Structure formats: structure tokens, C-alpha cells
Amino acid sequence: MIDQRQTIGKPLNEAVKIQKEFNEKGKLVKEVVTDAKAGAATTKFYGENGEIVKTETKNLK
């Protein structure tokens, strides 16, 4: 299941997009934050207890 939210009322080049992915138990397993203004996307992977187990950052430019 994916939950997507995007900043409303901002131009696309300034928007921050947040995607959250949950497992079948409803626990958060992955979160992707895309910041168009900064030109980067950060992905956080969560473990069974809700702790961050891995973080990846990618440049979009």
C-alpha cells in the first residue's frame, strides 16, 4: 500500500513529494521524500521495530 502526499499550491519545481509504503501489517517499511527545489530524493527503509535501517540519497539533477 502506498500513501502519497504532495505540497499543494507550490510550483512543481518547489514541491516536496512524500511517498510512504506499508507492509501487509500496516507497518511503515519505506519512505521516499523528493525535494524538487533541492534536486534530491531521500529514501528511508524501516525495520520491524520502526527503526531506520538504511538511508539512500540521490541527486535528481
Q: Is the pLDDT of residue 15 over 80?
A: no
Q: Which residue has the cell 500500500?
A: 1
Q: Which residue has the cell 531506520?
A: 52
Q: Which residues contact 3 (CB under 8 A, 6 or more apart)?
A: 19, 20, 21, 22
Q: Is the pLDDT of residue 24 over 90?
A: yes
Q: Is the pLDDT of residue 4 over 60?
A: no
Distance CA 6, CA 15 (A): 7
Confidence of residue 60 (pLDDT cuts 50, 70, 90): confident
Q: What is the mean pLDDT of residues 20-24?
A: 93
Distance CA 45, CA 57 (A): 12
Residue 46 CB neighbour total at 10 angstroms: 19
Confidence of residue 37 (pLDDT cuts 50, 70, 90): confident
